[in-house]
Amino acid sequence: MHDLIYIVRLLWREERRTFLRGLSLSLAVLLAGLALIGLSGWFITAAAVAGLAGAGAAFNVFTPGAGVRFLALGRTLARYGERLSTHDATLRALESLRITLLKGIARKPFAAIMQMRASATLNRILSDIDALDGLTLRLLFPVAAGFGALLAAVIVIALLVSPIVSVWILAATLLPALAAGTFLVRTSLKPSAEIAELLRESRTAVIEHLRGRVLLAFAGSIAHHRAPILRQFAQLETLAHRLAKAEYRAALLLSLAVTLAATGVLVLAVLLVQRDSLSVPLAAMAFFTALAIGEILMPFQRGLAEVGKMRDAASRIVPDLTGDPPSTLSVATKDNIAPTASCADEQTGPVLKALDLTLKAPSGATLLSGFTLRLEAGETVALTGRSGRGKSLLLDTFARLRAPTDGGIEFLGLDFRDYCEADFRQGVGYLTQRPALIAGTVRETLLMACPMATDQRLRDVLDAVCLGDAFARRDGLDTMLVEAGGNLSGGEARRLVLASVLLRDPCLLLLDEPTEGLDEATATAVLEGCRKWVPHAAILIASHREAERRFAGRCIAL
């Protein structure tokens, strides 16, 4: 439970004012409900007693009647405000939690981020955040407001009726409520967590099934592939039934506790009335207030039944929230001029300079030692060597995604760690081995890299990477891309991402196998188009192809 408590403290620190407003309104709703039922019971009983005593004409019905109407209207308004406020508090808290979580993941070492399987990680984050959305709405607010209202009711009854009655109400409701809560938490911990895990797995399975339904149909395997998914849903129904059974048993225990409390209050009130220690209307008020306590206790069970999945979600989220930032992201806070292509035009020294670099693979093996490089504006250098020699690792290091084990790197005459993140990204373009695309039009994809670009500029950059004709035969810039660019070939997808990189006019262009999957003529044309687009940029290529080596001014074997 330590992780869950940490999440609660984090949310409270971020949204304290919003939580206090929601909690105050939740408490106001419960108090208004108790007061409404108690005052109504007193009013009806007092009016009946006055009528039987022949004093009905003198009985003031207006003041308690106005109180009943005020409480009824006030409870309705407070309930409306409570719904708005508590949901606002929850949404704000989850927004803050998502941002903090994404910042925590971004602070992880690049190697750890690359090991995350994108769909699995996103699915886990979404399901864990969804699991925690009931932490405030169904657990914190009901429990805190409920105990506050119960304490207020006990104090009022002690002052107006008798301390004995208030002690009985507290003992007869609080102890069974704690017992029911303990039983529900223990019973629901495992099925609640298993339901959350199965929901996450079934969501992934359904998505994969829908993605591959065409191939499955051709293979005649749809029914075979669908069978385990249906078994997962059947297991979900079984677990949900177990969880519902535990909730019903806890609700039964709470109902019995409220009935016992009300019965005891009625007996005590009768005894006090017989001793002339209590008036009949106040006795009725105590009885009806005891009955109304059920409205306080019943909302507990839903949140307590979900503690299991909340606890497991918190245990997965907290490590991502509290991770230490890696050295690759420790940048200076001073303001720097953003390096742009114009900086490269005026640059007299090297664009990129590396001195005595030592790089180690994630496994710990040393790949490069004493590596030195000087890359001038307008120069193209190809890194060659067999796979596993550290070409991609070196590009990641120059892109400031990994930290060198030893040595120094300068970008435009400054230590590359002295640049703030936005300025550094503005001046460095990096085409990785696994470029990513999202669903949308070609125009939307390119505008993410350069929002102010005109349609003509977008067409020009597509021509530079030999994609203009390919998209012109479709719908041009309005060509729709499916998820992950699934309707493009591998070479087209890489070139579209390369076009996005070029749009930002970087003065350092890092390319990891940019012409993979292209024929020699197209590969040469794409490389020449890149150079024409950024004539003064320094280009560093991790190369496996002869076309890339011929294009480079010099080659460095690793």
- The per-residue pLDDT for range 418-435, each reduced to its tens digit, is 888 788 888 899 998 877
Q: Please say if the pLDDT value at position 112 is more than 80.
A: no
Claim to verify: residue 131 and residue 274 sit in the same structural domain:
yes
Q: Are residues 236 and 277 in the same domain?
A: yes
Band of the pLDDT at 86, cuts 50, 70, 90? confident
pLDDT at 328 over 50: no
pLDDT digits (tens, 9 = 90+) for 358-399: 888 777 778 888 888 889 888 999 988 888 788 888 888 888
Q: Do 547 and 419 share a domain, yes or no?
A: yes
> Token digits for 537?
């940029």
Q: Which of 113-127, 159-173, 285-299, 517-531 has the lowest mean pLDDT?
A: 113-127
Give the pLDDT of residue 331: 40
How would residue 57 be classed by pLDDT, with cut points 50, 70 and 90? low
Query: Are 19 and 116 in a shared domain?
Result: yes
Tracing tokens 């930290």 back to the chain, one arrives at 403
In a domain, 225, yes or no: yes
**Does the residue 21 lie in any domain?**
yes
Tell me which of 302 and 12 has the higher pLDDT. Answer: 12
More confident residue, 451 or 107: 451
Q: What is the pLDDT of residues 207-217, one digit of tens each?
A: 888 878 888 88
Domain that holds residue 395: 341-557
What pLDDT, on a 0 to 100 scale, did the predictor assign at position 342?
Answer: 43
Report d(CA 376, CA 352) in Å as an integer: 7
Q: Which two tokens stand for residue 83?
A: 């719904």
Measured between alpha carbons, how far is residue 400 from residues 395, 411, 461, 519 in Å? 9, 11, 26, 31
CATH of the domain at 123: 1.20.1560.10
Maximum Cα–Cα distance for the chain, whole Å?
113
What digits encode the pLDDT tens for the residues 238-296? 988 988 888 888 888 888 888 898 999 999 988 998 888 888 888 888 898 888 888 88
pLDDT of residue 8: 81
Q: Per the domain annotation, does 184 fall within a domain?
A: yes
Residue 62 vs residue 36, higher pLDDT: 36
Q: Are residues 194 and 157 in the same domain?
A: yes
Domain membership flag for residue 540: yes
Of 25-39, 135-149, 294-308, the one with minimum mean pLDDT is 294-308
> Which pLDDT belongs to residue 341?
39
Domain end residue (candidates: 273, 293, 321): 321
- Specify the higher pLDDT residue, 303 or 463: 463
Confidence class of residue 55 from pLDDT cuts 50, 70 and 90?
Answer: low
Confidence grade of residue 532 (pLDDT, cut at 50, 70, 90): very high
317 and 345 both lie in a single domain: no
Count of domains in the chain? 2
Mean pLDDT across the stretch 45-52?
A: 80
> Once rounded to an integer, what is the mean pLDDT over residues 169-177?
87
Q: End of a domain among 275, 293, 321?
A: 321
Rounded to whole angstroms, the Cα distance separating 443 from 500 reads 10
Torsion on CA atoms 41, 46, 51, 55, rounded to nearest 10: -160
In a domain, residue 336? The reply is no
**166 and 109 assigned to the same domain:** yes
For residue 533, name the pLDDT band (cuts at 50, 70, 90). Answer: very high
Q: Which pLDDT does position 332 carry in this prediction?
A: 41
Q: In this structure, are 196 and 305 located in the same domain? A: yes
59 plus 103 within the same structural domain: yes
User: What is the rounded average pLDDT for all residues in the chain?
Assistant: 83
Q: Per the domain annotation, does 326 fall within a domain?
A: no
Domain end point (choices 286, 321, 356): 321
Shared domain for 255 and 310, answered yes or no, is: yes
In one-letter notation, the amino acid at residue 211 is R
- Looking at residue 56, its pLDDT comes to 56
Based on its alpha-carbon atoms, the radius of gyration of the chain, rounded to whole angstroms, reads 34
**Residues 198 and 94 occupy one common structural domain:** yes
With beta carbons less than 8 A apart as the criterion, state whether 405 and 368 touch.
no
Say yes or no to pLDDT of 111 above 80.
no
Which long-range contacts does 298-301 make (Cβ < 8 Å, 24+ apart)?
298/251, 298/254, 299/138, 299/142, 299/146, 300/142, 300/143, 300/146, 300/177, 300/180, 300/181, 300/254, 301/180, 301/184, 301/247, 301/250, 301/251, 301/254
- % the chain with pLDDT above 70: 91
pLDDT reported for residue 320:
77
Would you state the pLDDT for residue 509?
92
- Asked if the structure places residue 330 within a domain, the reply is no
Q: Which residue has the tokens 């039922």?
A: 37
Q: Are residues 172 and 85 in the same domain?
A: yes
CB 293 within 8 A of CB 146: no
Span 491-496, mean pLDDT?
Answer: 88
Residue 332 resides in a domain: no
pLDDT band at 118 (very low <50, low <70, confident <90, very high): low
How high is the pLDDT of residue 530?
Answer: 92
CATH number at residue 538: 3.40.50.300
